[in-house]
Amino acid sequence: MLIINTETKLFGLLGYPLSQSLSPIMQNAAFKERKLNKIYIPVEVLPQNLESVVKGISKMNFEGFNVTKPYKIDIMKYLDEMDEYAKIIGAVNTVTVKDGKLKGYNTDGTGFLKSFEKETGSKIEGKTVFILGSGGAARAICMTLALNNAKKIYICNRTFKKAVLLSKDINKQMHDMNRQMHDINRQIKDISIAIPMEYNEMHNALNDSDVLINTTSVGMYPDVGTSPLDINLLKSNLIVCDIVYNPIKTKLLKDAGLKGCRTISGIYMFVYQGAEAFEIWTGIKAPTDKMLSIVENSL
Ligand code: ATR
């Protein structure tokens, strides 16, 4: 039985609104499994209160928290330090609190990468990836794919100019990193790994891709009958990933299954991003199987 006392350390999820999140159930199950005197609570924060809530957390018995929509970018101005990887992505989903100091991390992209590698048994290196969406999740995933040597990343979004902006940011980041690694006198080749795509041009790009990742919310409960793209655009050699995890098998994944594609549910990314946050906070290996089964049972 959980006994809450003055030694209990607090963790939380900051966002608005929070009704859908399974992070509290998953993290509390992990703390219990590892017999840690820690609890994780949802903290719904209005935009005008973000700064004062974060300041308060830094003075309390919190050891860390997660950040979700719409604060993954805004939170950065209240942090004392940023992990290099979170800096590159430009967004934070995990924060540690130590001696009143806040440090930001990002586990969204690595959570996706781990889910991909574990579920397919292969690496993203050398693969051509087609991304649907250009929001925060797409940004973390695209940067991670680029840093892990994906060959090409097509970015397709309903609002095309956001796909253009995200592609520019990724290419600039890769170019800057490449420049830092090379002798200033050497010729730097132009790396344009990310390519923005119009919706009506997706056919050819999909044919050229090994992996499709839906980062939009299309297909999420309660709109379980909708898919972000036409089933006829899917070919059997495409690995189809959805970051939506409710339902576990979205319409997109069902369609992909019918076409003979290998599919990866968003539930794995959700669990791995949470497992990495748990490990950053505690320094202890996360009970990933336990976390996965509790999330599966809650859906
Ligand atoms: P997240 O942090 O989960 O990535 P977000 O930053 O709000 O969320 O981004 C949501 C993404 O899903 C956006 O790319 C959005 O497209 P727009 O830029 O055009 O808004 C995309 N999206 C959301 N609903 C969509 C829909 N019904 N059809 C197509 N794309 C949609």
- Is the Cβ–Cβ distance between 238 and 256 less than 8 Å? yes
Per-residue confidence at 187, pLDDT binned at 50, 70, 90? low
The Cα–Cα gap between 295 and 299 comes to 6
pLDDT of residue 186: 54
Would you say the CB of residue 217 lies under 6 angstroms from ligand 1? yes
Side-chain-side CA neighbours of 261 within 13 Å: the count stands at 25
- Which value, to the nearest 10 degrees, does the dihedral of the CA atoms of residues 263, 267, 271, 277 take? 100
Q: Is the pLDDT of residue 2 over 90?
A: no
Atom 27 of ligand 1: nearest residue by CA position = 218
The separation between CA 200 and the C-alpha centre of its own chain, rounded to angstroms, equals 27
Measured distance CA(202)–CA(234) in Å, rounded: 11
Taking the alpha carbons at both ends of the chain, their separation in whole angstroms is 24
Collapsing DSSP states into helix, strand and coil, what is residue 9? strand
For 91-120, what is each residue's pLDDT tens digit?
999 999 999 999 999 999 999 999 999 999
pLDDT exceeding 70 applies to what percent of the chain?
96
Give the 3-state secondary structure of residue 24.
helix
User: Is 72 known to be catalytic?
Assistant: yes
pLDDT at residue 179, rounded to an integer? 78
Global confidence as pTM: 0.94
The model's pLDDT over 131-150, given as tens digits with 9 standing for 90+, comes to: 999 999 999 999 999 999 99
- Average pLDDT over the chain reads 95
DSSP code at position 61 = T
pLDDT value for 273: 98
Residue that the structure tokens 């999140």 belong to: 21
Confidence tier at 165 by pLDDT (50, 70, 90): very high
90 CA → ligand 1 middle, Å: 18
Give the mutation target among 74, 158, 165 for probing the ligand 1 site: most ligand atoms within 8 A of CB. 158
* The pLDDT of residue 249 is above 70: yes
Work out the pLDDT band at 184, boundaries 50, 70, 90. low
Query: What confidence score (pLDDT) does residue 181 get?
Result: 72
Q: How far is the CA of 101 from the centre of ligand 1 (A)?
A: 33
Q: Cis bond leading into 42, ω under 30°?
A: no
Least confident of 25-39, 170-184, 237-251: 170-184
Length of the chain: 299
Task: Answer whether 32 contacts ligand 1 (Cβ < 6 A).
Answer: no
Give the DSSP letter string of 228-276.
SS-GGG--TT-EEEE---SSSS-HHHHHHHHTT-EEE-HHHHHHHHHHH
Whole-number Å distance between alpha carbons of 169 and 196: 11
Which of the two residues, 199 and 257, has the higher pLDDT score?
Answer: 257
